[in-house]
Amino acid sequence: MSLKDRVNADIKEAMLAKDKARLQALRSIKSLILLAETEKGGTEGISQDTEMKLLTKAAKQRRESAELYAKQGRTDLEEIELTELHVIEEYLPKQLDEGDLRIRLLEIIQRVGATGPSDLGKVMGVASRELAGQADGRAISTAVGDLLNNTDF
């Protein structure tokens, strides 16, 4: 079942359950999908890779907005963003914990033959592609930097 079909089915369930917060989050996901489908040169559907990129970007935006609202003391808006983030995360693959992320990054570092901090770009290119949707870009970047600065890998 495509992401669009899953979201449509979940929208119907949220409407029947009268879950306004979930419904709002699902409608925002559906909106992202429809915008991606109707972009210039868009086809009838979008690829799974594009779906993951849309969801990852939406999750990152919600996370950053929630952090900003928390700093400003706007807990009401922070809660809305966090609720939407939790709904979006239901459609993303399971996120890697820090230990698993480091293991995967060590494998990538060895595979590309990275020897130090100067190879950061080479490692990040591969890691960003392979770990898309499984880890936040900032977490990947931080972990790669730490691993490459530690020459004992």
pLDDT at 62: 94
Query: Do 19 and 72 sit in the same domain of this protein?
Result: yes
**Rounded CA separation 47/99 (Å):** 30
For the chain, how many structural domains are there in total? 2
Question: 83 with 132, same domain?
Answer: no
Task: Please report, for residues 23, 52, 118, 150, the alpha-carbon distance to residue 105 in angstroms, rounded to integers and kept in the order given.
Answer: 37, 20, 16, 13
pLDDT in tens, 98-144: 888 999 999 998 998 888 888 888 889 888 888 877 887 888 888 89
* Residues 7 and 68 occupy one common structural domain: yes
| pTM recorded for the entire structure | 0.71
Which tens digit of pLDDT belongs to each residue from 34-50? 888 888 666 667 888 78
Which domain covers residue 26, as residue numbers? Answer: 3-89
Would you say 34 and 54 are in contact if contact means Cβ atoms under 8 Å apart? no
